[in-house]
Structure 1
Amino acid sequence: IIIEDIGNKRKYDFPLNRWLALDEDDGKIQRDILVGGAETTAVTYIVTVFTGDIRGAGTKSKIYLVMYGARGNKNSGKIFLEGGVFDRGRTDIFHINLAVLLSPLSRVSIGHGNVGVNRGWYCEKVVVLCPFTGIQQTFPCSNWLDEKKADGLIERQLYEMVSLRKKRLKKFPWSLWVWTTDLKKAGTNSPIFIQIYGQKGRTDEILLNPNNKWFKPGIIEKFRMELPDLGRFYKIRAWHDRQNPGSGWHLERMTLMNTLNKDKYNFNCNRWLDANEDDNEIVREMTAEGPTVRRIMGSKYGAAFCPGEVAGLYVVC
């Protein structure tokens, strides 16, 4: 996108090079773009929407949500909850990335477009968790959004039931880039797992490609994730389960970046994860590199032996 300011004779370039599609990339159909293509400071919100378990509660209308900051001055704008089913008694979960921190929220608005058949909807409640603040808030509704029922409203303002507020473990937003080399048959659609190690611990196993999404040769895949405070990272462990025929994968490298403070870690590989290639290993461990890396695991131990003396130890850091 290019915006031209004719009066001041300036042009603003907003490069993206990402899909806006439910069935491509990360499934997002809305993106924030900064001038020059700088990485956005993304804060994730996990929104859980509960449809009531009463007759006719479900809807086919498009549901949208607006989240308001603590003082109500800032808000998310209207966010359409694409991919939701909103059937009777169903719970729908959405991961929403915004370039602004709103948590804790003062209120939310929820509504629908009121088009199509079965447009009325009974909303039980909305729960919003912000991993960055660790705050989980519950916004009860227990009402119809239907022009033919109750008060006829199709949008409602919901306020938090403070007694239900929960404090979760804080997590921080990170972006992960994965480079697959352009070698022949370098790609794979096998389930790819990673585990990230830091000074304070390690993550659980993280599945990068649910539904066996392909890692294509020569293509960079990008992921957003929330991670607990692990201190400085020192390695990533990557592997696949070789369930599928031709499951081998030639990984070039991975990069992790904290989207808040821009700390960046590089993990070079340039090896096969393939039972029939290279050294036949399907697990690789990559050491962190980059300006923010310290030698966490870099201590080396050696022994010096002198005739007639007790061996001494020396440490090289």
Structure 2
Amino acid sequence: MTTYHVYVYTGDKSGAGTDADVYIQLFGDQDDTGTVNLKSSKTHKNKFERNQMDEFVVQAVDIGELQKIKIGHNNANLGGAWFLDKVEIDCPSLGKKWYFLCGKWLAKDEDDGLLERELLPREDSTEDYTPYTPYEITVYTSDISSAGTDADVFVVLFGKEKSTTQKSLCANKQERKQYFERKSVDKFVIELEDVGDTIEKIRVGHDGAGFGAGWHLDKIEVRRLKESAKVS
């Protein structure tokens, strides 16, 4: 599976936001993702509001080099009209980022009345960078009184010669409330710098935020998804 981070920018116009159900489809030179509903924004509880950026994570088969996207909505609910400014798509495992400009309404009574747009990447705008590696991190919280936490838990991985940057396991406060409960086993797939075949050690901690932030950690398992490497 390939992970795509989709950043959707709603424009700064009166009535630009929408409560309709928004979907996207990514097309590559080998395959496409099929229609994906953009349900849960990692940046805002109330998504697609005026002058707002919403981040979504799409996991799909490897579609190859991204060629175009389709994005639209079903015009459901009051105030379905939506002004889409642009879309950015980042694929850390490929080390690529694409930019798609729109700057149009997706509304029956605005512009050309279309509810769906087909967008091509902006010419000469694709960013290439060192690809990240997906790691599967499984966190076991202990089975003792008050073991859980709502604090911001982070990890750093260390290889023989390199280490990753510090990475939070949860994207926002809402996610933090769902994980790291007493006796829970929580699994995350995060993309980090490649530290090599052998993971020598890890650093794990949290920011101490929130009431009763103390956390009793039983163990952590880390698996490099491209090739096997595991530490407990």
TM over 0.5: yes
Distance 2:12 2:106 in 1: 14
Q: Is the 8 A contact 1:103 1:135 kept in 2?
A: no
Unmatched 5+ residue regions in structure 1? 1-41, 268-317
Q: Is the 8 A contact 2:19 2:80 kept in 1?
A: yes
Aligned length, in residue pairs = 222
Name the amino acid aligned to 2:185: I
Partner of 2:205: 239
Q: Cα deviations across residues 284-310 of structure 1 (Å, max 9, x unaligned)?
A: xxxxxxxxxxxxxxxxxxxxxxxxxxx
Name the amino acid aligned to 1:239: G
Partner of 2:36: 79
Q: Cα deviations across residues 213-238 of structure 1 (Å, max 9, x unaligned)?
A: 35222210111100111112100112
Distance 1:182 1:160, change over 3 A: same
Distance 2:35 2:164 in 1: 33
Partner of 2:195: 230
SS at match of 1:106: strand
Partner of 2:44: none
- The alignment's TM-score, normalised by the length of structure 2, stands at 0.87
Name the amino acid aligned to 1:91: M
Distance 1:151 1:188, change over 3 A: closer
Distance 1:185 1:60, change over 3 A: closer
Distance 1:190 1:152, change over 3 A: closer
The structure showing larger relative contact order (alpha-carbon pairs under 8 Å, at least 6 residues apart) is: 2
Name the amino acid aligned to 1:234: E
Q: Is the 8 A contact 1:52 1:142 kept in 2?
A: yes
Q: Is the 8 A contact 1:48 1:126 kept in 2?
A: yes
How far did 1:208 drift?
A: 2.7
- The alignment's TM-score, normalised by the length of structure 1, stands at 0.65
Partner of 2:111: 150
Distance 1:187 1:133, change over 3 A: same
Q: Trace 1:41-52 onto structure 2 (pairs within 5 A).
A: 42-52=1-11
Aligned CA-pair RMSD? 2.0
Q: Cα deviations across residues 135-178 of structure 1 (Å, max 9, x unaligned)?
A: 11111212221112222111111111121111123101121101
Distance 1:244 1:137 in 2: 37
Distance 2:15 2:204 in 1: 47
Q: Cα deviations across residues 63-111 of structure 1 (Å, max 9, x unaligned)?
A: 100001124xx1111111113421222221112222x112421110000
Unmatched 5+ residue regions in structure 2? 42-46
How far did 1:48 drift?
A: 0.9
Distance 1:246 1:43, change over 3 A: same
Q: Is the 8 A contact 1:173 1:226 kept in 2?
A: yes
Distance 1:109 1:244 in 2: 40
Q: Cα deviations across residues 1-51 of structure 1 (Å, max 9, x unaligned)?
A: xxxxxxxxxxxxxxxxxxxxxxxxxxxxxxxxxxxxxxxxx3211111112
Distance 1:245 1:90 in 2: 30
Partner of 1:114: 75
How far did 1:130 drift?
A: 0.6
How far did 1:131 drift?
A: 0.4
1:200 counterpart = 2:158: no
Moved more, 168-177 or 200-209: 200-209
Distance 1:76 1:183, change over 3 A: same
Q: Trace 1:230-309 onto structure 2 (pairs within 5 A).
A: 230-231=195-196, 232-243=198-209, 246-261=212-227, 263-267=228-232
Distance 2:223 2:153 in 1: 20
